Amino acid sequence: MIVEILNHSTFPFNEQNTYTQCKKVILLIEEENVGFPLEAKSIALVFKDERDARALNMEYRKKDYATDVLSFSSSDPDSLGELVLCPQVIDRQSKEHNLNFEQELTYMILHGILHLLGYEHEDDLEKEREMMFLQDTVFSKIYPDLEVEINS
């Protein structure tokens, strides 16, 4: 799968590591046999600063704060969709979760991709448990030495 990274933020991060981690996440999700669309050939990761992330969150979710990740599906069958990530929020959360930035970013990419695949957690406890179990299962395969249950 092609991973396109568009950095429109001022936050410094390693784009090559982000690319590598996204590829790992995709591979491990595919191994879980969760109905990954075979026709999807690309995904876009767009990094925005807090002001822009807040505006998008307000526009699409009616929530007036910068969020860590927003998932946007695509009408193009060749694209899985787009994740809009706010590195400043992710950096703050990494400290709250006792992770480094790369680990938290990986978790948010994983979270966003699961949303693109149709997983939800906001209005149904059973669906939330299913998504979080899958999310934590995949994350633990990437970072097997971490004892983490984040459940964002």
Q: Which domain holds residue 137?
A: 2-142
Residue 36 lies in a domain: yes
Question: Helix, strand, or coil here: 72?
Answer: strand
Q: What residues in the chain have per-residue pLDDT under 50?
A: 152
φ, ψ dihedrals at 37, nearest 5°: -65, 120
pLDDT score recorded for residue 152: 47
Domain count, the chain: 1
Residue 125 lies in a domain: yes
Q: Which residues of 25-52 are buried (b: 16+ CB within 10 A; e: fewer)?
A: bbebbeeeeeebeeebeebbbbbbbbeb
Residue 148 lies in a domain: no
Task: Report the 10 Å Cβ neighbour count for 53.
Answer: 25
